[in-house]
Amino acid sequence: MRDSTEVSVASDGKVAPDYKHALTALLLQMGDDELIFGHRCSEWLGLAPDLEEDIAFSSMAQDEIGHASLFYSIAESLSGTSADRYAFSRGKNSRLNAMMLETKNGDWADTIVRSYLYNAFEQVRLKECLKSNFVSLQQAAAKILREERYHLLHMETWFEKLARSQGEARQRLLRALQDIWPNISDLFDLGVHADSLVRHGIISNTSLGIYSQWESIVRPVFAKAAIDWPGKPVQFSQSGRVGQHTSAMDEILLTMTEVLSLDAQAVW
Amino acid sequence: MSTFKATSDMTRKQKPIVNESDGETSDRNTADKAFEVRVALREVKDPEIPTLSLEDLGMVYDIIVDHQTVHVQLLPTFVGCPAQEFIRNQVLKRLDEIDGVNHADVTFVMDVPWTSERITETGRAKLEEFGIAPPPARFAPDYKPQCPYCEAHNSDVVSLFGPTACRAVYYCKNCKQPFEGMKFV
């Protein structure tokens, strides 16, 4: 439920501490998801199955890192911590991305499954942000959605293509789905400020509501691809939304901060 | 202070809107200066498509003149477009050549989305001339544009991702020529 007093709190620039903490955490969840997913996308450059996919994954990497930078910049305007610091100078346990995004790329089927499930989730989350009472988040979501629909479409096309093919491609897709499905529950987790986020109207739906909408997008695609619905993902005991991560996160942070650790003053 | 918004069709005559009045002469000066800046920006081209200016692309959101200072607000086509810093420097370099401008800054506006509808009629014509099909009027991933080389309506989508974020790749089955098209964004 929207609270009209909170709307004015958000729009006149004076933000109550509780509102600010919850909002910053959401911006970091969104920025961290995009940064980590974008980084993994970039790793396909030169290795993707064909030239078109080299270009597609590089384009998406560029888009996602741009989106991360926008979310971090909005967070910077609230907290004073620079976007660069958010991207490069935070330890593993203060990163809030979902754990499934940090996992190594695996094979093409792993990548397509992960990317499709994440992109469908992202559509839902961004659409909920269109109704946010924090204007900058609303505007960023509107701009980003115009780009993201191409990503979702691309991943959905690949998901269906692999599922409909005979033999190894379909087998690999099913195997990838089996591996990834048990590890997706924290995508939908809104973290420690979940209640505040909804109560203040920063995001217009609960974790459960976001999951339901996601299921209503993904499930028909599974049906079309003749894949049995695996059921609601079981709540995993850990969550990236509270800073819990796998060892894959150490590896990714080490790579991402390689230049910074060699030369802290380095510029582009 | 004088400010005027970019219209979607730059072939129309520009009419500066004066917001605040600090003397009639001064208003006219700032309006003239804003117009001069706008004309100068027609010389700043997209680094990826050198026949198209920022104005042709509809990237100029606002020009605000405050005495000797000029603020240029641009709309980036894509949030993560890596050409932003290059474009900023090109604009600053060009503004530096204008008499009576002592200070200039360029900001990228993120609160209003750039859309492919902002490309002007002139811009669309220049895109075609350059060999890039102009964007469709709506989100239509299956859209097969007219070939900018042979003008046949007989193309296939090769990839929705092209050499830059805003372009897709097509293939003309008539003249057997691959070509690029601007995406609807």
Using one digit for the tens of pLDDT, what is the confidence trace for A72-129? 999 999 999 999 999 999 999 999 999 999 999 999 999 999 999 999 999 999 999 9
The verdict on a CB contact (< 8 Å) between B165 and A139 is: no
Higher pLDDT residue, A266 or A221? Answer: A221
d(CA A135, CA A137): 5
Q: Report CB contact under 8 Å: A139, B112.
A: yes
Residue found under tokens 């005559």: B13
Closest C-alpha to A240, from A101, A124, A126: A101
Is the pLDDT reported for residue A9 higher than 80?
Answer: no
Separation CA B31–CA B51 (nearest Å): 27
Where does the pLDDT of residue A16 fall: very low under 50, low under 70, confident under 90, or very high at 90 and above? Answer: confident
Would an 8 Å CB–CB cutoff place A257 in contact with chain B? no
Q: Mark which residues 155-174 of A lie under 8 Å from B by CB.
A: none
Query: Rounded to the nearest 10 degrees, what angle do helices A135-164 and A207-224 cross at?
Result: 30
Which among A52, A73, A146 has the least Cβ separation from residue B158?
A: A52
Helix (H) or strand (E) holding B62: strand B60-66
**What does the alpha-carbon distance between residue B88 and residue B95 come to, in Å, rounded to a whole number?**
11
For residues A227 and A163, the answer to whether their CB atoms sit within 8 Å is yes
User: What is the Cα–Cα distance from B21 to B27, expressed in whole angstroms?
Assistant: 6
For residue B3, name the pLDDT band (cuts at 50, 70, 90).
very low
Average confidence (pLDDT) over A115-144: 97
Helix H or strand E segment including B158: strand B155-159
- Report the percentage of chain B scoring pLDDT > 90: 70
Q: A136-150, A248-262, B17-31, B112-126: which range is least confident on average?
A: B17-31
Helix (H, G, I), strand (E, B) or coil at A148: helix
Indicate the residue of B110, B114, B165 with minimum beta-carbon distance to A59. Answer: B165
Contact B150, B172 (CB under 8 A): yes
Contact status of A182 with chain B (Cβ, < 8 Å): no
Tokens encoding B154:
């007989």
Q: Of chain A residues 68-97, which have a CB less than 8 A from chain B?
A: 69-70, 73
Best to test chain B binding among A69, A143, A153 (most B CBs inside 10 Å): A143
Token pair, residue B141, equals 């991933």
pLDDT of residue B1: 36
Measured between CA atoms, the residue of chain B closest to residue A68 is B80
Among all chains, which residue has been given the structure tokens 């997008």? A217
Q: How many angstroms separate the CA atoms of B93 and A259, rounded?
A: 30
pTM of the model: 0.89
Can you give the pLDDT at residue B5? 36
Q: Tokens 């730059």 sit at which residue?
A: B10
d(CA A140, CA A72): 11
Do the Cβ atoms of B159 and A144 come within 8 Å? no
Contact A11, A66 (CB under 8 A): no
How sure is the predictor about B25, in pLDDT bands with cuts at 50, 70 and 90? low
Q: How does pLDDT run across A171-214, given as a tens digit for each residue?
A: 999 999 999 999 999 999 999 999 999 999 999 999 999 999 99
Q: Which residue has the tokens 């370099």?
A: B93
Backbone dihedral angles phi then psi of residue A105, each to the nearest 5 degrees: -60, -30
pLDDT of amino acid B18: 45
CA distance B70 to B64: 6
Contacting B residues, span 43-102, partner chain A, CB-CB under 8 Å: 78-82
CB B35 within 8 A of CB B29: no
The pLDDT value given to residue B29? 82
Chain A CB contacts of B141 below 8 Å: 150, 153
